[in-house]
A and B are shown apart, each in its own frame.
Chain A
């Protein structure tokens, strides 16, 4: 009864689909079914990418591509005009290189912390805890919050007269200006982003842990294998595909970090939490005299770095798969 409309739809669609298959063959049908997805991908990803690249080759104050002046690689030249890339102040676009190095440090520290904490959380949540579902929900809850809300909540907690300083003061210690001291602000940016997204990655790892056959652990237990060895020899290798997914996703998200940190620190103190996406936003949108060409060039470079990182990780994954197959 419930399937009746489906059957009716199948009967209606059957003749044209058969006709299509006669014309295009099996491969043609595959293209036909993939086409809607590719169309959406093309409109919302590929075309904007091409337009962005075109913008990066233009200059001037006009917004429309047709009204802008072709300047070739001038915007890229401006970004790479540098005495010493390790010393942003020697670069023409010093804020770009400051943002690049801030992003590099952020990615290294945040990704390591995120994967580590997510793994530990997943291992704990995989045990026979009391109210296990409740604890899983608790760790996942921040993922449901808007990044702006996350930034605002933590700003209220960490600001000079915030909740954390109130508690520190009540305990008899001197309050700390968390968002004005460079190192504390950087640490806060990392911690808040880990807090906000860790639940999602823990969930992926938890799914991986639950997919590991129980009999492997039972066999190890019967052999009297130490827990640490079980972890290194069974859990970690079998969790590797999930860990790789988490690593790729975390890395991409870390390079793109913007919203919650922008609300939390505004890129400060000074430029110590100015990351590459905020630089692009400032140059392309927030400044009253926008420079879409320079912002586009910076975003193309950021995209290129992400592609290289992703390909590198996929390469590692394939090498791992080949080793396993042998």
Chain B
């Protein structure tokens, strides 16, 4: 106990972000696009209405959320509220807002569908709400397809058909590659499920690599070897290092890009009117045409000294009008049922954006249950990390596919065993 206290004191002294003082509510926030400015604007309005509560918004890099916040939380410290994506694995650090919010029933009715994503299994806590829902999916460079005289594949097109069509564009327009997928185990999990994969065993432990994973992994490797998939994105890094393929799509170096709905604002801003692009949902496999749902949640931290103030801030940010404004200005997909039901007037002049948002909303109806279960499954991160590490080794010629499958199973088993001690 003494050791723990001494270490906690040391950590407290060393860590940069400290819990807020009485009357202060400190929010740790990361941004992909303009949402940092939007939330600051909304919080300024809250502070005008609630002069006794001072909300401090710490805009940090995503890496800080991923790497430093968990350490702060383990030390029993951290901000009062945080925007996070590693929602399930850290669920034991989130504050149950139920006694601190005005109307828990409002939360359960409008935002409750994703509560299991962010609370320990079996809990009925209200830890926070999703600031955005995301869904993995593809984007096609419409202009390049038109210039190549290749028809954009239809809604039920398979992965093979998409790669073939994008390959024709690549050959015609002399592109470096036909398509790219972000270097991330998360990103290939929707396609894996579409090929029949199920990561979750009956006892909710990680299942061994199955035929679905093997089918899509083999295709990825083949497409990389043939030059259809952009080699640079996956091969030029080791381990779990994230690499996005967005820049190649933005620079019209590829015809097709598989990423997710969170890229819409980024693509709109950076592509402008350089070329036309469309969102395509997820290509099909033999089992489904599924993307992987997910998103970023805003959660209260249970180590806060001001839980009632945190409750007030969260009540304000989760209110329907505020969520609607946040959604319309950030171009994110909302998780609030009331907002989804009502009209959403996305604030953009870009004609590509509204079509893209509609395409992703439509694609949410095609999410396979095996993909829908992953955000609420605590071993998802272990699976994603092992997939990206080993498959990229195969692409680089360091492992055979069979060796990679064995290694993926071993890596996941080792991580689960270590974390379960």
Binding site for B on A (CB under 8 A): 59-67, 69, 71, 89, 92, 94-95, 159-161, 177, 179-180, 182, 185, 265-274, 278-279, 282, 285-291, 293-294
Contacts and interface: CB of A to CB of B under 8 A. Distances in A.
A77 to B, nearest CB: 13
A182 B241 CA distance: 17
7 contacts: A60-B418, A66-B4, A95-B389, A160-B232, A266-B238, A268-B396, A287-B240
B22 to A, nearest CB: 27
A180 B237 contact: no
Interface residues of B, number: 46
Given A63-B75, A89-B399, A160-B176, A268 B4 contact: no
B26 interface: no
Interface of B: 1, 3-4, 7-8, 66-67, 70-71, 74-75, 86, 89, 176, 231-232, 235-241, 243, 251, 253, 381-382, 384-385, 389, 392-393, 395-399, 403, 407, 410, 415, 418-421
Contact of A270 (B397, B419, B421): B397
A74 B322 CA distance: 52
B86 A180 contact: no
Nearest to B66: A288
Interface of B is mostly: helix
A270 B7 contact: no
A160 B38 CA distance: 36
Contacts of B75: 63-64
A278 B241 CA distance: 11
Contacts of A179: 232, 236
B67 A285 contact: yes
Contacts of B74: 62-64
B232 A177 contact: yes
Nearest to B7: A64
A286 B242 CA distance: 10
A30 B84 CA distance: 53
Contacts of B398: 270-272
A274 B86 CA distance: 26
Nearest to A272: B396
A66 B11 CA distance: 14
A289 B239 contact: no
Shortest beta-carbon contacts, A-B, top 7: A270-B396, A267-B238, A266-B237, A288-B381, A63-B74, A60-B421, A61-B419
Contact of B403 (A65, A71, A89, A285): A89
